[in-house]
Amino acid sequence: MSIRSANAMPLATSGKKEYGLEYFLKGALAGGLCCGVTHGAVCPVDVVKTRMQLDSVKYNKGMIGGFKTVIAEEGVGALATGLGPTAVGYFIQGWFKFGGVEFFKIQAVNSLGEQGGWDNRTSIYLGSAAAAETIADIFLCPLEAVRIRLVSEPTYGGGSLPGAAAALVKENGIIGGFYAGFIPMLFKQVPYTMAKFVVQGKAAEAICTSMSIDQANMSGATTMGVALSSGVVAGVVAAIISHPADTLLSKVNKAGAGGSGGMMSRLSNIAGEIGIVNLCTVGLGARCVMIGTLTAGQFAIFDSVMGALGASKYHFHDPSSDKH
């Protein structure tokens, strides 16, 4: 199987399909939709999870108990706190993350060739995911800062996305208000995304190999089944790996958390106050449920939207198998 070129630009191929600018734009749109929809859908779980991380003394009865406490004290509507910045922020993040992963992995195959891409697919997944997520987080971080502040203080800045964003900038400046949590976000999101794409790719391969399914030519129903199954596994693994940084991110965006020093000083103070065990375990159950469900939904929606847009998702291919 060869790497062909069009207009002097090499395009990775899988079967007879070519992957160029139109494909990347469709991948970005599908990524934006899958992340915006899924994160918006699990907003109530995220509200409870964040409250558990911010105040583990009050919210100490697990996820179900957390739901009951929030509803009893603030009403059902409180579970939608931060929905606006969540949906907008993760649409933008998904655009760059999923679109970026497709772009970077295909550029790697263009450079290495089909066989080189197949032999190094794990490294390509890791590098592509890290690069794409880093870019995506630059755009996500301000909206995530607003979401967390609204969850901890529902009336902050009038309780709206624009109002809360303006209040954060007024009080702390652009960097202090929007990017105080950028470092822990990178520590959270980059390992999370690397694990998510690698584990999902490996799980999908294992499922298809065990059932003699050709990934490049799956039916819609089969694509959905493989995406959901592999997505759940990837989500739980990624949630466990990134949870300590997620807790730090929730804490550092709470008013006054970690003192008044620099970002690294505040993070160090917060970690010391919480303790390693709590940092790794508080809210983990809720996050595994949320991220497992969310990740399965993301890959299912991504593949479905790509299909609806007439794009066939690129899958790593072993050229040597064509000779048998």
H helices of the chain, where?
21-41, 43-54, 62-74, 83-119, 121-152, 161-178, 182-210, 220-252, 263-274, 276-281, 284-308
Measure the CA–CA gap between 140 and 246, rounded to whole angstroms.
14
Measure the CA–CA gap between 99 and 214, rounded to whole angstroms.
23
**pLDDT tens figures, 37-57:** 998 988 898 888 778 877 878
Asked whether residue 221 carries a pLDDT value surpassing 90, the answer given is: no
**pLDDT tens figures, 278-297:** 888 877 887 888 788 889 99
24 band by pLDDT with thresholds 50, 70 and 90: very high
Report pLDDT for 94: 96
265 band by pLDDT with thresholds 50, 70 and 90: confident
Give the bridge partners for 5, in sequence order.
Answer: 10
Report pLDDT for 324: 53
101 band by pLDDT with thresholds 50, 70 and 90: very high
Report pLDDT for 167: 92
**pLDDT tens figures, 152-161:** 888 888 888 8
From the number of C-beta atoms within 10 Å of its C-beta (0-12, 13-18, 19+), residue 151 rates as buried
Residue 68 is given by DSSP the state H
Of the two residues 81 and 229, the one the predictor is more confident about is 229
Pairing of strands 13-14, 17-18: antiparallel
Asked whether residue 136 carries a pLDDT value surpassing 70, the answer given is: yes
The residue whose two tokens read 């949906």 is 87
Rounded to whole angstroms, what are the CA distances from 270 to 55, 188, 240, 259? 13, 16, 20, 9
Asked whether residue 114 carries a pLDDT value surpassing 70, the answer given is: yes
Residue 76 is given by DSSP the state G
Per-residue pLDDT averaged across 308-316, rounded? 88
**pLDDT tens figures, 201-212:** 999 999 998 998
According to the per-residue pLDDT averaged within each range, which of 62-71, 97-106, 242-251 is highest? 97-106
Contact 232, 300 (CB under 8 A): no
Residue 137 tokens, joined: 């987080």
Measure the CA–CA gap between 97 and 193, rounded to whole angstroms.
9
86 band by pLDDT with thresholds 50, 70 and 90: confident
Instruction: Give the three-class secondary structure for 70.
Output: helix
Report pLDDT for 317: 80
Give pTM, 2 decimals: 0.77
Residues contacting residue 210 through CB under 8 Å, at least 6 positions apart: none
Per-residue pLDDT averaged across 306-316, rounded? 88
3 state SS for 48-67: HHHHHHHCCCCCCCHHHHHH
